[in-house]
Amino acid sequence: MKRNRIAVGIVAMIAVLTIALLFMRYNSGNSNAVSQNITTGSMAPDYGFTLANGSHTNLYAYRGHVVVLWFVATWCPSCAQGNEAINQNYQFFEQRGIKVIELELYNDLGYSGPPIASFVNSYAPIAYSNDAIIPALAGYNMTAVYDSKGYLDIYYLISRNGTVLYINGSPASTLGQLEGAINSSL
């Protein structure tokens, strides 16, 4: 029993150190990155991104829709759990016309993971097939602005007119709060 706790503690410590090193690695080469403070009430910066089918679009193309702009790494376990949570609740988003744009952070923050469409389809097949989740790739500048610290699994709730309404992370843990924010914004 004691060995199990020690082993779990060591694994947790290695995971924390790995993530810390990842953030340092990601941010070390980005000294010229655009930096912007995105807060609730501010306008969401418009950046282009590539949909999983290869076509290019931008955030402003979704004006008129409430959007969840969700930044993930496809090797991230909590991001996979977030997909599962949205998959189980996809009808909530679908019935309200919410567009969940799931963006793979630029270059998967320097680590290898599956392509974003495969990742979403693996963990959220029903949501993916019903277009409740739109998989896409964020470019360098979009990643630098929306996720300048290199955090995993963060999202922004954006109003029909482009205003940031709510910011949080890990939909697997905060789905109820996100749904509450969506309900109060409609």
Secondary-structure breakdown of the chain: helix, strand, coil percentages, each rounded to the nearest 5? 50, 20, 30
Which residue do the tokens 């376990």 mark? 77
Predicted pLDDT of residue 101: 96
Q: CB–CB of 52/136 below 8 Å?
A: yes
Give the pLDDT band (50/70/90) at residue 4: low
- Residue closest to 19 by CA, chosen among 173, 153, 169: 153
Which own/partner pairs from 53-61 qualify as long-range (CB within 8 Å, at least 24 positions apart)?
57/136, 59/158, 59/162, 60/162
pLDDT, one tens digit per residue, over 146-186 is 998 888 899 999 999 999 999 999 999 999 999 999 999 88
Token couple for 134: 């739109």
Q: How far is CA 90 from CA 17, 77, 125, 136, 145, in A?
A: 34, 19, 10, 18, 28
Give the pLDDT band (50/70/90) at residue 140: very high
Task: Indicate the domain borders of the chain.
Answer: 1-32, 34-185
Residue 129: count other Cβ atoms within 10 Å of its Cβ.
11
Beta partners for 167? 156
Q: 34-185 has which CATH code?
A: 3.40.30.10
Give the pLDDT band (50/70/90) at residue 35: very low
Range in 12-16, 98-102, 133-137, 172-176 with the lowest mean pLDDT: 12-16
